[in-house]
Structure 1
Amino acid sequence: MLPVERHRFITEVLSQRGRVLVQEVAELCQISLETARRDLTLLEKRGLLLRSHGGAVFVNQHEIEKHYVPAIEQGESFRDRSNQAPDQKTRIAKRALALINPGDCLLLDSSSTSWFLARQLPDIQLVVLTNSLHIIQTLAAKANVKTIGLGGEYSAKYEDFIGVLAEKLLTEFVINKLFFSCHGISHEGGIRESNEHHARLKQQMLLSSEHKILLADSSKFGRRSFARICHYREIDTLITDTLEDEEFRQELAWSNVNVIEVAPVKHKQVSLKTQRGDPFSTS
């Protein structure tokens, strides 16, 4: 039973019984007591139940329907994300081009940063796999780029494809380079996503790819996120606009992660006030 299915099941049991014990949750869902406790704690944070000694009690069904958000819907929509930090994402995407060679088989996730990369890709001999509808549409105009869409369940909110079919198709290819992003990255939690469905798909992407490149602007650092994708040591390269945390930089170095920063170029200001004889002088 998937976590999202399990959470819905628990709320339904509570609506019928009024209360449920941790032991009952573990037995009904065939999970460990520790997992059952975590599920109840998470559902309490969402306002769907109240924890009690050894279990949980019912919250009004109207409130459950009002506030319940399936885990697949956690996170911001693609449209919202694509409008965040466009300058940083553009610089990151342009720097990533240096890692791409003609003949490569690339895998791009459905992040907005990967979409910025797709827009920058030259029209050269490439094979690109992606689960992003926007990336498929963008690459359709590039005659020399062969685009393969990962099938699966379509998400209108994220404008991408997810699920078992998308994960299974990844096993059929030899992928040279994966370019992906995340919702958050931190010292303690590693690289994380806003929901478990995208986290699980990205885990399979990592397993299927030879070289793993994380594209993450500085707003991602220190952000708390719901589902774990991987540890830093599982990626090869991080491309970001700036990394100010020196302790974190050292941790990445210990994990053999190559960090590439693409901070904006600071242009020297030139004063219009010059020596006597300045042709722009109005005197």
Structure 2
Amino acid sequence: MLVTNRVNYILNTINRIGKVSVINLSKELNVSLETIRRDLKQLDEQGELIRIHGGAKNKKYKDEGTSFNNRAHLNINDKQTLVNQVIENIYEGCVIGLDASSSSWLVAQAMPDFRCTVVTNSLNNINVLSEKRNITTIALGGYFSEKYKAFYGLITRNNLIEMTLDLCVISCVGFDKESGVWDSNEYNLDVKRTLIKVSNKSILIADKSKHRKKSLLKICNIDEIDILISNAEI
């Protein structure tokens, strides 16, 4: 790839998602890690981006999402009640996608240990499911986010887009009937949209604290979700 095209790709990517990794760019552009590091160094010196450990970020980048650790224990009783309804839709032999939300983490914990396959980008889900002998876990690779304890990026999406799932379970930052389903950052947005696209049935699990809330990015319209599981008064 020509240097100009490569640099344009890097800048377009970083302007779109806010943050990039050297490893992902190397694989996506089919060049060496050292080549990407030189490109990022030059772009940093030109004031186009800010170099960080392992990659670079947009000068205006601000990740609005809440970390997994901070979300894990919010509204836990409400979530547990909703998780039980999600489990009713899971059956032996199914292929299910789980996003990296704290609600999906509770679903992974509650899943019966019968023969099925789970596809996920969440490290927490992988750890929980590794203890269940009858469940086959497919881990989506990609750029690892310590904040979200999950994998993201083009590699993650490319792996997922080649699959066909029976159902997926996602959560959100906010939802309502009129405006749709919302999330706070591009990382989670891309995975959730792709899960919906490749699944025969999509399940949104969202407790009442998320009803009538909006955020930065729209995942989809509410009618693109097959099953809404919530304790909100809708």
In structure 2, relative to structure 1, the CA distance for the partners of 1:2 and 1:82 (3 Å cut) is farther
TM-score, normalised with respect to structure 2: 0.74
For residues 182 and 69 of structure 1, the distance between their equivalents in structure 2, rounded to whole angstroms, comes to 24
Map of 1:261 onto structure 2: none
Summarize the alignment of residues 79-118 of structure 1 with structure 2, pairs less than 5 Å apart: 79-118=69-108
Aligned to 2:209: 219
Whether the 8 Å contact between 2:177 and 2:222 is mirrored in structure 1 is no
- Count of residues in Structure 1 that have an aligned counterpart in Structure 2: 184
CA contact (8 A) 2:122 2:150 kept: yes
Higher relative contact order (CA 8 A, sep 6+): 2
Gaps of 5+ in 2: 1-10, 19-58
Identify which of 52, 67, 70 aligns with 2:61.
70
Residues 1:121 and 2:131 are matched in the alignment: no
In the alignment, structure 1 residue 233 sits paired with structure 2 residue 223: yes
Alignment-derived partner of residue 5 in structure 1: 15
Determine if the alignment matches structure 1 residue 190 to structure 2 residue 200: no
Alignment correspondent of 2:124: 134
* Partner SS, residue 148 of structure 2: coil
Kept in 2: contact 1:196–1:226 (CA 8 A) = no
1:166 aligned to 135, 140, 156, which one? 156
Q: CA RMSD in A?
A: 1.8
Whole-Å Cα distance in 2 between the matches of residues 186 and 235 of structure 1?
A: 12
Query: Displacement, 1:171?
Result: 2.3
Secondary structure of 1:205's aligned partner: helix
CA distance in 2, matches of 1:101, 1:2: 42
| One-letter code aligned to 1:88 | D
Distance 1:172 1:200 in 2: 15
What CA distance in whole angstroms lies between the structure 2 residues aligned with 1:7 and 1:98?
36
What percentage of aligned pairs have identical amino acids?
34
The one of 180, 202, 205 aligned to 2:195? 205
Matched residue SS, 1:169:
helix
Contact persistence 1:196–1:227 (CA under 8 A): yes
Is the Cα contact below 8 Å between 2:119 and 2:139 reproduced in 1?
yes
TM-score, normalising length: structure 1: 0.62
Ranges in structure 1 where 5+ consecutive residues have no aligned partner: 9-67, 250-283
- Distance 1:226-1:199 versus aligned 2 partners, 3 A rule: same
Give secondary structure in 2 for the equivalent of 1:228: strand
Task: Identify the range of structure 1 (165-174 vs 96-105) with the bigger mean alpha-carbon deviation.
Answer: 165-174
Q: Give the deviation of 1:2 after TM superposition.
A: 4.7
Q: CA deviation at 1:95?
A: 1.4
> CA 1:102–1:227 in 2, change beyond 3 Å: closer, same or farther?
same
Equivalent residue for 2:170?
Answer: 180
**Deviation by residue 1:256-279 (Cα, 9 ceiling, x = unmatched):** xxxxxxxxxxxxxxxxxxxxxxxx
Residue 147 of structure 2 is aligned to residue 157 of structure 1: yes
Q: Give the SS at the match of 1:214.
A: strand
Q: Which has the larger radius of gyration?
A: 1
Change (3 A) 1:69 1:181: farther
After TM superposition, what 4+ stretches of structure 1 lie above 6 angstroms from structure 2?
none
* Alignment partners' CA distance in 2, 1:6 and 1:172: 23
- Aligned-pair distance for 1:188? 4.3
Question: In structure 2, what residue type is equivalent to 1:70?
Answer: Y
Shift of 1:222: 1.6
